[in-house]
Amino acid sequence: MIHPTAIIDRKADLDTSVTVGPYSIIKDNVTIAPGTEIGSHVTIDRYTDIGADCRIFNHVSVGAAPQALKYQGEKTYLKVGRGTVIREFATLNRGTAFGGGITEVGENNFLMAYIHIAHDCKTGKGVIMANNATLAGHITCEDHATIGGLVAIHQFVRVGAYAYIGGKSAVVKDIPPYVIAAGDRARLHGLNNVGLKRHGFSTETLLSLKRAYRIIFRIGLTLNEAIERVGAEMGQVPEVTALIKFIQSSSRGITR
């Protein structure tokens, strides 16, 4: 059902099952897949693609132009994956031509009130952002990362899969997968044991990750020495291999 006060451009493509609440505005070149629910006073700007079964609550801004001084009105995009929930007053911006041209939100994200996802960010599946968490431009959050309330993450930072960032943290370097980070500036505080157990990681995998974490971050080896040792001793564990690859591919440096 589309409320009679909603304003929907003729060039928007909404599935017939989409619902739109009072006073919402949907502009041209927007695509919304089946089963998605749009609340009241929502603005969905042009060149936005919203997947199936999403829930967008009141007063959300989706697909607005990026907050980037170099942006000159180029055609850029925002894509929101299936099953994502976007709570009140959240803001999600399109990409920039100089940053890849697209902002991508993965499937089944849970984005709480007042969060901000800036231009050219990418989130994986099952990412959680608590109230007032903010992603600056060009950030990547891998699958099942959790970002606490009032967290601010610097441009170009990567957040690894299953990582947990505690509330009110300021993050300026990459957060490795599987860990807990917190503080201003953020530092590591061990493995995300609770989160990993909830996601069904085996005891053997957790023990391997714990051992790898200790070697890399806690016994005083250089990063290269630690990675070489971990690879030799536990390189057959896929999660440990993923941890090593993440660290080796970091350009901003790793939170420690």
Q: Of 138, 172, 205, which residue sits at a domain end?
A: 138
What per-residue confidence (pLDDT) applies to 113?
98
What per-residue confidence (pLDDT) applies to 64?
98
What per-residue confidence (pLDDT) applies to 54?
99
Do 124 and 216 lie in a common domain?
A: no
Do 22 and 107 lie in a common domain?
A: yes
Q: Of 92, 111, 138, which residue sits at a domain end?
A: 138
In this predicted model, what pLDDT tens digit does every residue of 146-186 receive, in sequence order? 999 999 999 999 999 999 999 999 999 999 999 999 999 99
Do 110 and 201 lie in a common domain?
A: no
What per-residue confidence (pLDDT) applies to 115?
98
pLDDT tens digit at each of 256 positions of the chain: 999 999 999 999 999 999 999 999 999 999 999 999 999 999 999 999 999 999 999 999 999 999 999 999 999 999 999 999 999 999 999 999 999 999 999 999 999 999 999 999 999 999 999 999 999 999 999 999 999 999 999 999 999 999 999 999 999 999 999 999 999 999 999 999 999 999 999 999 999 999 999 999 999 999 999 999 999 999 899 999 999 999 999 999 999 9
Give CA angle at 151 (95, 99), nearest 5°: 15
CATH code of 74's domain: 2.160.10.10
Q: Of 112, 138, 164, which residue sits at a domain end?
A: 138
- Residue environment code for 58-85, b if the CB has 16+ CB neighbours within 10 A, otherwise e: bbbbbbbbbebeebeeeebbbbbbbbbb
Q: Which domain holds residue 58?
A: 7-138
Residue 206 lies in a domain: yes
What per-residue confidence (pLDDT) applies to 39?
98
Number of domains making up the chain: 2
Residue 185 lies in a domain: no
Do 127 and 210 lie in a common domain?
A: no
pTM greater than 0.75 (yes/no) = yes
Do 207 and 88 lie in a common domain?
A: no
Do 113 and 215 lie in a common domain?
A: no
What backbone torsions phi and psi does residue 98 show, to the nearest 5 degrees?
Answer: -85, -5
CATH code of 242's domain: 1.20.1180.10
Do 121 and 26 lie in a common domain?
A: yes
What per-residue confidence (pLDDT) applies to 5?
98
What per-residue confidence (pLDDT) applies to 119?
98
Do 125 and 202 lie in a common domain?
A: no
Residue 169 lies in a domain: no
What per-residue confidence (pLDDT) applies to 231?
94
Do 114 and 207 lie in a common domain?
A: no
Residue 27 lies in a domain: yes
CA–CA separation, 73 and 62 (whole Å): 16
Determine how β-strand 37-38 pairs with β-strand 19-20: parallel
What per-residue confidence (pLDDT) applies to 118?
98
Upper half-sphere CA count for residue 157 (Cβ side, 13 Å): 23
Residue 59 lies in a domain: yes
Do 105 and 207 lie in a common domain?
A: no
Residue 184 lies in a domain: no
Residue 162 lies in a domain: no
Do 44 and 111 lie in a common domain?
A: yes
Residue 16 lies in a domain: yes
Single-letter amino acid code for the residue at 44: I
Do 129 and 215 lie in a common domain?
A: no
Any idea which residues carry the catalytic annotation? 119-120, 137
